[in-house]
Chain A
Amino acid sequence: MTARPMVELRSVRRTYSTGHAAVTALHEVSFTAAPGEFVALAGRSGSGKTTLLNIVGGLDRPDAGEVVIDGTDLATLDEPELDAVRRDAVAFVFQGFGLVPELSAAENVGLPLRLRKVAPSVRDQRVSTLLELVGLGEHGAHLPDELSGGQMQRVAIARALAGSPRLLIADEPTGQLDTETGLAVMALIRGVVEAEGMTALVSTHDPVMMALADRVLRIEDGRLVDA
């Protein structure tokens, strides 16, 4: 018996309207990702990577097609149910880190736990563990602007892992990092994915990063070219 895919997209289309013109960001995109699989999404800027990740993560809705996450068709969900998917099943790592600038590293990591109203003692323990995991055990009290780019992305990864998601979506997580740091971050993602057994969908255009993935999906002008 084949395991149920963690991510399954069928003929997904997304079109943006800008004034009188319409831009199709995704054309009939279909693919699957198995549980525990590390999938890299490669493509140039504007090829539709971020749109695809947003749709997979429930941040955006397709105009057509189906998006099934862990057996749940996102199209059938209303907004609160989508919020719940983002809160419980999916985690994001953004290119710009997406940290709340007023909060310390530990507080940023604890945000998903606060959403779940986890008890403060449990939350603090989990945050501490995650910061140790990403190598920032000593930097929990630092504000984002007191951290380097690589450290901020590690915090973002720790935050993504805080809610024990089944799917990790990372949109160019190394885009603002130098190669060495980027490689370290990518290795970290690779490591935690393996350790936590989660599925990862990571967009990048760096071949070195792609080498760390189990599979690479290439997207051009909104179409998967070698899925």
Chain B
Amino acid sequence: MPDPAPRLRHRGLRRALAQSGVLVALLAVFTVSSATAGTGALLMTAGNDRALSAAVAQLDGTEKSNGADITSLLVTADMNAEHPLTADVAMPVVQHALTDAAGPYAAQVSLWATTPMLYLEGKDVRTGYLLDADTLPDNATLQQGSWPTVGAAGKLPVAIPAATAQALGLQLGSQISLAEHRRDGRGAGRTYEVVVVGIFAPADTPAWRRDRLLGRGYQPDYLLMPTYGPFVVGTGTLAALAAPVERVAAVLDPDLKANAVDLPPLVQRTGAVGESVKDTLGPAAQSVWGTSRLGTELSRMRAELAVTDALVLAVFVLVLTLAAATAALVARVLADRRAGERALLRDRGASRPQLVRGAAVEALALGATAAAVAAPIAVAGYRMTAPQPVVTSGSALNPALVLGLLAGSLLPALVAVLTVLPEGVRRRRWAEPGELARSGVDLLLAALAVVAYVQLRTHVVTPGEVDPLLVAAPAVSVLALVALITRLLPLLTRLADLAARRGRGLVLPLAGWHLARGGGLRGVFLLVLAGAVGTFGVTFLGSWEASHQDQAAAEVGADLVVTDTQASGGTITGLTGGTVSPVADNAVVLGSRPSGVTMLAVKAAGAITSRPPTGTTWPQVMSELSPREVGSPLIVPRGPLKVTVSGGLAHAPREGLPLPEITVTPTLVLADELGATTTRTGSAVLLDHAPHTIGIPLPGEPGLPAGTWRVVAIDLHLVERSGVDLFEWGMESSGFTATVTIDGATSPSGAWGGAGDTGVAAVRPQEARVAGDTVEASFSCSVLGLSWHDAHLTLLSFPASAQVPVALSENLAHELGLTVGDRIGVAWDTAPLEAVVVRTVPYVPSHPREAAVLAELTSLQRAMLSVGRLDSLTARWWVGSPTQGAAEAVRAAGAGTVVDEADTATRYRDGPLRTPLRFAWLLAILAAVGFAVTGSAAHAAAQARRQGTTLARVRAIGASRREALVIHAVQHAAVTVLSVVMGTASGVLLAALLVPVLVVSPTGACAVPAPSIVWSAGPLSLVIATILVGGLVVGVPAALSVVRRSTVAALRAGEAP
């Protein structure tokens, strides 16, 4: 008897070949699913390490650039200790402790050691101090001489700041002694004889925070004494001298070299280094204070990564859902093809468990094959995000990759098996349209989606953890929405049926009947799902990127921000172009809220480039906050100014009264063209009715043209210095006049306002006017009070008012229950102002998510001047629409630290911690298109198979080949178009609902400003068109095939009982 095996094998091969198209489609679905899950697993394991390392590499900075990786340590000595702390002991201890803390990272340790205050020689009591700073050349510009070296015997070579040299009248070669004690104007105890070898200008770097005088060089009242310094000695001098130190300020600057693995231990060690140093130095160290942003930065990065992970995971859940739906559809096609075979097997005694086992084994084999094929694809996909190694160790694959591959292939395989289970084993055919609705599963999904949506609206992401709500919400929502929207199908089919009945011809009605009654809509669920995912994906991605751009803009406030600068507005304008605005920014006390409120004041609305509140613009907002009165400032000529002051008692004093001797020191409050103010003070003159002319230089001379500056206020510092007893004057006020003339100044004539001290002198302005170059004022004050305490009269080029119109951030207004028109006290430093709420804004630029107040700079300045505060409020400069290369120009000119909004936006959008999200969405969109087209092809093939006999019958009664073709094509086109339309609508609806709650900040907080939905017309059209055209095109072969096969043979096959 011949061996039947070869025949059976041959038959099996023929069967496989006959079904090869469907089997390949199923394998492709499993493979795509597996590769996607594998890529996702890699992104969330090896990819996370890689992203952290890349992010850590971007931290790389130095103390000069105020890098985030800086760890600093400040040791202060106990000056009353029995054994004072000396440099030779303290500096090596600190050095070694920090080097050890750096661990595997190469690190630089910078030490700045400062001696206790020393007395400078001379009659006056003055103090100074020595500084041993190893990074001085990095943080200062040598103006004269050379940097000091370690001194040999004799005098110590020192370098001093130019301000110190000027204040002490020192120059290169000058010698001076600094002593521990002072006795009869001479040094006693340990005395350091120094010689000036260099004069430098401190750079505007954070390193000078380590200096006692912050690099200013001189402070008249440091610890109540005039203090000068630092006198910088050569590196190592203090240790060589075993000099007592009052403090050692150290900075650890590790080279992190894109290595995130050792970062957590580093954070731990740097956190403990202070304690270790304190233990080593013993009681000589009064305190050891360590600060490091590494831990904070690491936590932030992990929080950002967790948000990215959650969103990436959500994307892959969506892809797996799509894969499962596609597998179900393709599996049904396969099951239809095998219906006869299955019936035969059942008839010949095959049990249901046997059939299930057979299907499971086949699916498992396909799944395993798919996983094997998908492995290199997943690795390649992962590598597309960055060319980094994937495999963790040896030759073993990453376990997460293996798990992802298997999960990605076996999940759709399981769905496929469940789909093709013989009747009786499975309870329902989920792929049937309408059955999902009848089962109530869609309502359950909808309920879950509603719960998820409500949760998302008020949800707070736990930092550093993958949020399950973010992961599940998109998939649940899209499934629910698609399931609900397919409830429309019966309505549509009824319409199709009605139209078919009323139709006259055959083609369209028959197509309509097939759709309505013939299972023509079975592929709709997948196509709608894919269309929804594609549409939602494109919209989410576009909105996500736009929102992060918006968030970066809100975080920075302007295109460029220049801080830590002494440069004038003119200089900044020259370097950057664009709209430049001075900006004031300060913590304030608002009403009863003790802290946590920030007030921002901006002059030029054009510099604000973050997204304005809905329905308005920043210029509109700022115009509401601007002062109504223009004011009458004096426009002054090129400096130095010739200022003439006169005035005195308005009326002769009662006879017999002792005459006061009142001097006035004028201070001009000058505003430049950009609205930034500064002050210039002249010398004191006697208020004796005689004109006294003094010279006052202008800032920025001599380069600035006339008219650059305007005098917006003149402060008169009144001092009674007669030294006689003025008790007889009593406390009543006396009238005074004061006139200030600035040669060459011009002004629109008008009234000025005034403000005076309300202390014992009771200065009260009465009337003030400006005309031409002269301001005339009358005021009253108590002469006796003035003899007790000096006082100020501030003449203002505008009406005095301490009120500041403000816009409150909505969260602050809500918290304090403030509405438009309310007034509330606000303290800027100690200046008591009154804020008038003009409007609320969703956020205050550069302070998103904070309780903040926005004001117009001139309004704030006027209020401050009205309470006698002359300080310049400019903290930084904002630049809107700068010229290209402006940031580099500012940096090159050393004009300050620049924050570039574009850099921040790039970090937010494209930073290594967020790269996976974009990649995942692109993958998901591609998968959606691919699955849609695959599903469409499978559906078309299944329909062609089902309709072959019907079309043959219709042809037998006289329908032409063309009519038969059109019948099938119309059905397929109708299903495809309908699905794409419903899918697009679902995606649009889903985006409208979910984008506002799913687009969050990098750390998972609510996005500020609230994200707006970006309908990216180009990419959306491309995705929709690809699904549509792809879906239509793949139906063509099936249509041609079914018509070609609508022959007598098909008729006979259909006739078979």
List A residues at the B interface (Cβ < 8 Å).
50, 54, 57, 59-60, 79-80, 83-84, 86-88, 91-92, 94-96, 98-103, 107, 111-112, 114-115, 117-120, 123, 159, 163, 171, 176
Contact = CB atoms under 8 A, between A and B. Distances in A.
A205 B148 CA distance: 125
Nearest to A91: B957
6 contacts: A83-B959, A84-B958, A96-B1057, A101-B518, A103-B517, A114-B504
A112 B963 CA distance: 13
Give 6 closest A-B pairs by Cβ, nearest first: A87-B958, A96-B1055, A114-B506, A102-B517, A86-B958, A102-B518
Contacts of B963: 115
Contacts of A112: 957-958
Contact of B956 (A80, A98, A102, A117): A98
Contacts of B200: none
B956 A87 contact: no
Contacts of A115: 506, 957-959, 963
A163 B958 contact: yes
B1055 A94 contact: yes
Nearest to A119: B504
Interface in B944-1003: 950, 953-961, 963
Given A98-B953, A100-B950, A176 B1057 contact: yes
A26 to B, nearest CB: 13
B506 A111 contact: yes
A81 to B, nearest CB: 10
A87 B956 CA distance: 8
A59 B1051 contact: yes
Interface in B483-537: 501-506, 509-510, 513-514, 516-518
A107 B957 contact: no
* Most A CB within 10 A of own CB, among B503, B504, B950, B963: B504
B1052 interface: yes
Contact of A88 (B503, B516, B958): B958
Given A102-B514, A103-B513, A59 B957 contact: no
B504 to A, nearest CB: 5
B759 interface: no
Report, as a range, how many residues of chain B touch the other chain.
20 to 34
A57 B952 CA distance: 14
Given A107-B501, A120-B503, 15 more contacts: A83-B959, A91-B957, A96-B1055, A98-B1055, A100-B513, A100-B953, A102-B517, A103-B513, A103-B517, A111-B957, A114-B506, A115-B506, A115-B963, A119-B504, A123-B504
Interface in B1024-1055: 1048, 1051-1052, 1054-1055
Contacts of B892: none
Per DSSP, are chain A's interface residues mostly helix, strand or loop, or mixed?
mixed
A100 B957 CA distance: 12
B652 interface: no
A20 to B, nearest CB: 18
Interface of B: 501-506, 509-510, 513-514, 516-518, 950, 953-961, 963, 1048, 1051-1052, 1054-1057
Contact of B504 (A80, A99, A118): A118
A92 B517 contact: no
A179 B1057 CA distance: 17
A54 B952 CA distance: 13
B1048 A159 contact: no
Contacts of A118: 504
Contacts of A60: 1048
A171 B513 CA distance: 27
Contacts of B514: 102
B1054 A96 contact: yes
B747 to A, nearest CB: 92
A87 B955 CA distance: 9
A91 B956 CA distance: 8
Name the residue among B505, B960, B1054 with the largest chain A CB count within 10 angstroms: B960
A163 B693 CA distance: 121
A96 B513 CA distance: 21
A177 B517 CA distance: 27
A178 B506 CA distance: 33
B952 to A, nearest CB: 9
A164 to B, nearest CB: 13
A117 B961 contact: no
A157 to B, nearest CB: 13
Contacts of B954: 100, 111
B14 to A, nearest CB: 14
Nearest to B509: A114
Nearest to B1053: A96
B960 A79 contact: yes
Which of A88, A102, A117 is packed against the most chain B CB atoms within 10 Å? A102
A83 B958 contact: yes
Nearest to B500: A107
A107 B512 CA distance: 13
B1051 A94 contact: yes
Contacts of B957: 86-87, 91-92, 111-112, 115, 159, 163
Nearest to A143: B517
Contacts of B1048: 54, 59-60
Contacts of A102: 513-514, 516-518, 950
A53 to B, nearest CB: 10
Contacts of B955: 83, 86
Contacts of B503: 114, 120
Given A54-B1048, A102-B518, A107 B956 contact: no
A79 B960 CA distance: 8
A107 B960 contact: no
A191 B506 CA distance: 29
B1052 A50 contact: yes
A101 B513 CA distance: 10
B959 A95 contact: no
B499 to A, nearest CB: 12
Given A59-B1048, A103-B513, A118-B504, A98 B958 contact: no
A176 B1055 CA distance: 11
A98 B1054 contact: yes
B1023 to A, nearest CB: 34
A83 B1056 CA distance: 24
B956 A59 contact: yes
By CB atoms of chain A within 10 A, which of B503, B954, B1055 has the most? Answer: B1055
A54 B955 CA distance: 12
A50 B1052 CA distance: 9
A103 B963 CA distance: 18
Contact of A117 (B501, B502, B505): B505
A133 to B, nearest CB: 18
A171 B1056 CA distance: 13
Contacts of A119: 504
Contacts of A99: 953
A115 B960 CA distance: 10
A53 B961 CA distance: 20
Nearest to B502: A120
Contacts of A79: 960-961
A117 B959 CA distance: 12
B1055 A95 contact: yes
B974 to A, nearest CB: 15
B461 to A, nearest CB: 52
A99 B956 CA distance: 11
Contacts of A80: 960
Nearest to B1055: A96
Contacts of A57: 956
A159 to B, nearest CB: 7
B434 to A, nearest CB: 15
A92 B1052 contact: no
A54 B1048 CA distance: 8
A171 B953 CA distance: 13
Nearest to B959: A115
Contacts of A120: 502-504
A223 to B, nearest CB: 21
A183 to B, nearest CB: 20
Contacts of B1051: 59, 94, 98
